[in-house]
Amino acid sequence: MLVRGVSVDPPAAERGAWPYTVPCVAQLAESGLALERPVTFLVGENGSGKSTLVEGIAEAYGLHVKGGRAGRKYGDLGPSTPLGQRLRLDYTVEGERQVSGNRKKHKGYFLRAETAFGFMNFVSGLGLPGYWDADTSVLSHGEGFLRVFETMFAEPGLYLMDEPESALSFTSCLSLVRLIHDLGASGGQVICATHSPILASVPGADIVEVSDAGFERTAWDDLQLVDRWRRYLGNPAAYLRHLIDAADDADADDDHEESV
């Protein structure tokens, strides 16, 4: 592992402003977050703050806020985020060696689903040192994502991912599960924000559930996400009946108002 903890100590004047109004960030400012295993998943609803945490960690590690690999000499790391500029990483001995040594020894990658497609198309086929050789423009989004994972997540370093499952099929998610597990077992460290119960099932991973109450460690079986998927897949009609009936009732009300 490279990072064993994350903390932030903002000035008092900033604590009442975003992002410290987000419960998980407020909790980070109060007690920090220990990273106990090589693979950590942050799981939660949209708006819970899990992506904000991952982005802040990436920036604190010296990765571009829009995504990219460590060790690259960026002319501009992008706009500094309020959390990223304050956040502090508690490095292990190996982590200190990487970040304080030669830039080329600084290993890692930040993949953000929302910017990855454009970056992949930019790099595709150029043969740039340190990147993939494949022309991802002729691959599907999912195939391109997997090619990036297989090429860039190949040696011990810190790897940050924000909802990588967005382009992946069920089978491709399973391939990423294997890759993440192998990376953690070989000395790498992964921190991933996800909505995917498949990715969060990586054996031995630490799971942190992020919610309106802050964050807490939990088991995969106890995740709200897993419970909801099980309930839906077990009986989709129980959910769809309420959704569709509600939509039909709303349409009927609109039609009635127009006819009056």
Residue 73 pLDDT greater than 90, yes or no: no
Nearest by Cα to 176 from 158, 188, 161 = 161
Average pLDDT, the chain: 83
* Mean pLDDT on 80-85: 84
CB 149 within 8 A of CB 113: no
As a whole number of angstroms, the distance between CA 51 and CA 61 comes to 15
Report which of residues 53 and 119 the model is more confident about. Answer: 53
Checking if the pLDDT of 20 tops 90, the result is: yes
Tell me which residue of 208, 200, 161 sits closest to 181, measured CA to CA.
200
Q: Is residue 257 in some structural domain? A: no
Res 245: pLDDT:
72
256 occurs within a structural domain: no
Residue 253 lies in a domain: no
Instruction: Domain count for the chain, please give it.
Output: 1
Q: How would you write 163-187 as a 3-class SS string?
A: CHHHHCCHHHHHHHHHHHHHHHHCC
Question: Residue 134: inside a domain, yes or no?
Answer: yes
In a domain, 250, yes or no: no
Residue ranges of the alpha helices (H) in the chain?
Answer: 23-31, 50-60, 93-100, 113-123, 141-152, 170-185, 224-234, 236-259
Residue 228 inside a domain? The answer is no
Q: What is the CATH number of the domain that holds 101?
A: 3.40.50
Q: Which residues contact 1 (CB under 8 A, 6 or more apart)?
A: 35, 37, 38, 92, 94, 95, 189
Q: Given this model, what pLDDT does residue 182 score?
A: 92
First to last CA, the chain: 68
> Residue 249 domain-assigned?
no
Domain of residue 106 covers: 3-222
Q: Which residue stretches of 5-112 are H helix?
A: 23-31, 50-60, 93-100
Let me know the angle formed at the C-alpha of 143 by 137 and 145, rounded to the nearest 5 degrees. Answer: 85
Do residues 70 and 103 make contact, with C-beta atoms less than 8 angstroms apart?
A: no
User: How confident is the model at residue 30, as a pLDDT?
Assistant: 95
Domain-embedded: residue 230: no
